[in-house]
């Protein structure tokens, strides 16, 4: 006995008895649910911590992740001055900047950067792990880094972010 199927919107898949595939979910700016996360950087390895922060800023830890929509969370990093690195990177790793004039290339070691501006070390590490586009520059503004244990974002009630060691 031959089974007959009703014709639904003249689709061949429906005629053959197959179900239609589901549409891919795409987040919109109205759908996003942003959290405030708190990270304690003391004793953490710089690169490993920066990858987890970059994933949280982009929203890759959420099931609603969409590459072209900013679905990430705000991240507060405290104790940036107590970050650790492996090997001899304190002396060997260099940070370069250029003044724009001929011969204007300047460099500092990681040890100097941690003494002068420890917040910039984490910000630059996270920036290097984000894509190079307008959306990533917008996502980087959600990163708040502080050298000490205090931060002015208590009103946002940040939740501690679980980090792998």
Question: What is the domain class of 34-160 according to CATH?
Answer: alpha beta
Return the structure tokens found at 110.
Answer: 């990681």
pLDDT number for residue 102 = 98
Ramachandran assignment for 79, one of left (phi > 0), alpha (psi -120 to 50 degrees), beta (any other) = left
Question: Does residue 29 contact residue 102 with C-beta atoms inside 8 Å?
Answer: no
Mapped onto helix, strand or coil, the DSSP state of residue 126 is helix
Averaged over 128-138, what is the pLDDT?
97
* Adjacent-strand bridge partners of 158: none
Categorize the per-residue pLDDT at 71 as very low, low, confident or very high, splitting at 50, 70 and 90. Answer: very high
CA 21 to chain centre: 31
- 29 half-sphere exposure, CB direction, 13 A CA radius: 1
- pLDDT of 93 higher than 80: yes
Counting runs of H as helices and runs of E as strands, what totals does the chain give? 6, 6
Q: What percent of the chain clears pLDDT 90, i.e. is strictly above it?
A: 81
In the chain, alpha helices (H):
12-15, 46-58, 89-92, 110-116, 118-127, 134-140
Mean pLDDT of the chain: 91
Helix (H) or strand (E) holding 99: none
**Spans of all domains in the chain:** 34-160
Averaged over 39-44, what is the pLDDT?
96
* pLDDT tens, position by position, 144-156: 999 999 999 999 9
- pLDDT of 158 higher than 70: yes
Helix (H) or strand (E) holding 35: none
pLDDT number for residue 65 = 94
Predicted TM-score (pTM) of the model is 0.85
Ramachandran assignment for 33, one of left (phi > 0), alpha (psi -120 to 50 degrees), beta (any other) = beta
Higher pLDDT, 19 or 127: 127
* pLDDT tens, position by position, 108-118: 999 999 999 99
């Amino acid at each position: 006995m031959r089974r007959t199927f009703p014709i639904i919107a003249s689709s061949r898949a429906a005629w053959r008895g197959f179900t239609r595939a589901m549409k891919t979910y795409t987040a919109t700016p109205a759908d996003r649910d942003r959290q405030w996360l708190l990270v304690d950087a003391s004793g953490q390895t710089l690169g490993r911590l920066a990858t987890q922060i970059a994933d949280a800023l982009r929203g890759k830890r959420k099931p609603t992740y969409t590459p072209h929509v900013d679905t990430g969370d705000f991240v507060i990093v405290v104790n940036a001055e107590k970050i650790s690195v492996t090997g001899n990177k304190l002396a060997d790793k260099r940070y370069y900047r250029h003044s724009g004039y001929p011969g204007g290339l300047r460099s500092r070691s990681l040890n100097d950067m941690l003494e002068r501006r420890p917040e910039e070390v984490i910000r630059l590490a996270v920036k290097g792990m984000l894509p190079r586009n307008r959306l990533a520059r917008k996502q980087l503004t959600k990163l708040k880094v502080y050298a000490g244990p205090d931060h002015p974002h208590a009103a946002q009630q940040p939740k501690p972010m679980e980090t792998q060691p």
